[in-house]
Amino acid sequence: MPEIFVTLPDGSAKSVPSGATVADVAASIGARLAAAAIAGRVDGRLVDVTAPVTDGARVAIVTERDAEALDVLRHSAAHVMAEAVKQLFPLAKFGVGPSIEDGFYYDIEIDRTFTPDDLGAIEERMRAIVAEEHPFERVTLDKLAALSVFEGQPYKQELIAALPDDEELSTYTQGIFTDLCRGPHVPHTGWIKAFKLMKVAGAYWRGDADRPMLQRIYGTAWFSEKDLQAYITRLEEAEKRDHRKLGKELDLFHFDELAGSGLVFYHPKGARVLHELIEWLSADLYERGYQEIRTPHIYKADVWRTSGHWDYYQENMYPFQIDEGEGKEPTDYAVKPMNCPGALLVYRADVRSYRDLPMRLFEFGTVYRHEKSGVVHGLMRARGFTQDDAHIFCTGEQIIPEVKAMLDIVKFIMDTFGFEYTAEVSTRPEKSVGRDEDWVLATKALMTALEEWGLPYQINEGDGAFYGPKIDIKVKDAIGRIWQLSTIQVDFNNPERFGITYRTAENTEQQPFMLHRAIFGSMERFFGILIEHTAGAFPTWLAPVQAVVIPIADRHLEHCEAVRGRLGKAGVRAEVYADNDPMRVKIAKAQQQKVPYMLVVGDKEIEVDTVGVRERLAGDIGAMGVEEFAAKVLAERP
């Protein structure tokens, strides 16, 4: 049989028989690799192990150690779940069933609502399918044949009808279930050993509220039972840390449907945390040469037409009209979804020189975005939120040093709160504006800044803003979850649209670049992440109440109030627990409220003017003078 040669990831060449598959390549390398092969990459494309290889192809074997492996496993689990549903509910109609972060789902239409008992029965049927080790068999076919295969499945037929007539389609069959799918999949159902169905939710077909509501079954799948159990434990821990639950328990904030979805009301304690965050970061920014601005919450539509938001972002905005008086046409306005036009209008309010650059303007500006109700989620995805925005106007030569300076702020903040973090560079999206050369220059500048600063990064192709590329900073919280947080963007579009310039040393007019950056990102989102990261136990400097003063008896109450006053003058946020409860109950209340310090006052403490200090975690740490304790608290501020 004639031989062909393929190139392995280490650059070596491997000879295999003509017509060999990915599985054959794995077997030619070793029996252990063949047994571990889940899928393959051929010339960079993810394929099944049964996919053929061609002469000269670059071939990599995908095992469970590879990043893509879990997606392949979970997508396969979605098919197994759909087969189990089909066995139990033969008249079910199927939508789509992709893998998602930490799991998979399938959208399904049946003539009644799925119950918890149904999920249990589906899981049991899945286990039987897994035990039968059905292979996932791929078939290619044309559009007409595909429509015939999916007769009686209207959602599949709709997907097929929307495809070009000459497109080659593929289906996968395992057992009695056939699905329209690009693949790849694990070799057979026996690979899917550790899985669990999590919940059922409603989902409009194709995300359109005017289309049918399907039932979405969510599940998760892992390569081992140990990994599955660890994931379930993380979910249980995440539920305990849920910022919406803790927000209520700690009296930080609430949402009120009378006011509208996604609009947060901060209570005094929550407002104090935000105040401390803003004051802390503002002081740091002033030291770094930033200047603060404040801009309006609404603008005429002319501003948004100039910026491009009216054309590219209007579906996420809140437009309205203002009656300008008798005989005049109403004027279009919109509540701001972004702060950037305000900074541009501040910049262009005066003549600027190269000596003014870089000009660093920051603003804690509140914006409003029309998020769909299905994605609104507490503080993490709100419709009204405040951003720690800054806009830097600079020359092309200043982009790299300015971005590196922003990365220094990122490090300062992430280190302060104990977040591990990574970077991602997002490149030009399909829907975008601007010249190719500007995109190339800006994207390269972001990459160079990251490389010179020493922060590794990944590329996220096509996910930049419509006006320029960006760096996204992702953080890992205390229980291992990843959150997108900070963003740094280059904008060469709005400076041109708003016609801003600066006078060069040669007395000519030049257009500056504009850098957008938000380190906290949304203050609401950061607050929510911080609540869950700390489980509501904020560091002392940020806690809304840093200490509670607890009288042993009522006769000590007056002295406790005096202690609170002295602490307040020293800059310590303190409260007196004056309720007629036993001291142990007051201490338990302070612990439940995550107060960093409890100060016990009785006859002995009054006599020598001290307080008995209990720390939230360490317990009793001894007596201190009031001023000594205040100094200790203030020293904990970063």
Q: Is 560 a catalytic residue?
A: no
* Catalytic one of 181, 340, 394, 560: 340
Q: How many CB atoms lie within 10 A of CB 242?
A: 15
Exposure string for 39-51, b = 16+ CB within 10 A, e = fewer: bbbbeeebbbbbb
Q: Mapping DSSP to helix (H, G, I), strand (E, B) and coil, where does residue 290 land?
A: coil
* Catalytic one of 138, 243, 309, 391: 391
Residue 420 and residue 387: Cα distance in Å, rounded?
A: 21
Closest-CA residue to 607 (of 543, 559, 571, 574): 559
* Catalytic one of 87, 174, 387, 593: 387
Q: Is 243 a catalytic residue?
A: no
Dihedral (C-alpha) 127, 131, 133, 137: value to the nearest 10 degrees? -20
Residue 2 and residue 464: Cα distance in Å, rounded?
A: 47
Q: Is 369 a catalytic residue?
A: yes
* Catalytic one of 125, 138, 352, 516: 516
Residue 547 and residue 616: Cα distance in Å, rounded?
A: 10
* Catalytic one of 185, 352, 470, 614: 470
Q: How many CB atoms lie within 10 A of CB 635?
A: 9
Q: Is 389 a catalytic residue?
A: yes
The H helix count followed by the E strand count for the chain is 20, 33
Beta strands 513-522 and 291-292: pairing type?
unpaired
Alpha-carbon distances of 134 from 68, 71, 131, 170, 359, rounded to whole Å: 22, 19, 8, 18, 64
Do 389 and 406 contact (CB within 8 A), yes or no?
no
Do 382 and 522 contact (CB within 8 A), yes or no?
yes
Q: Is 350 a catalytic residue?
A: no
Do 547 and 586 contact (CB within 8 A), yes or no?
no
Q: Is 79 a catalytic residue?
A: no
Q: Where would I find the H helices in 89-115?
A: none
The amino acid occupying position 389 is D
Residue 307 and residue 487: Cα distance in Å, rounded?
A: 19
Do 360 and 392 contact (CB within 8 A), yes or no?
yes
Residue 312 and residue 304: Cα distance in Å, rounded?
A: 10
Residue 360 β-bridge partners: 392
Dihedral (C-alpha) 608, 611, 614, 620: value to the nearest 10 degrees? 0
352: CB partners within 8 A, 6+ apart: 359, 393, 500, 501, 502, 503, 512
Strand blocks (E) in 70-149: 93-94, 99-100, 103-109, 137-141
* Catalytic one of 79, 134, 243, 369: 369
Rg of the Cα atoms in the chain: 30
Residue 513 and residue 494: Cα distance in Å, rounded?
A: 9
Phi, psi of 505 (to 5 degrees): -65, -25
Q: Is 340 a catalytic residue?
A: yes
DSSP string, 393-421: EE-GGGHHHHHHHHHHHHHHHHHHHT-EE
User: Which residues form the catalytic set?
Assistant: 340, 369, 387, 389, 391, 470, 516
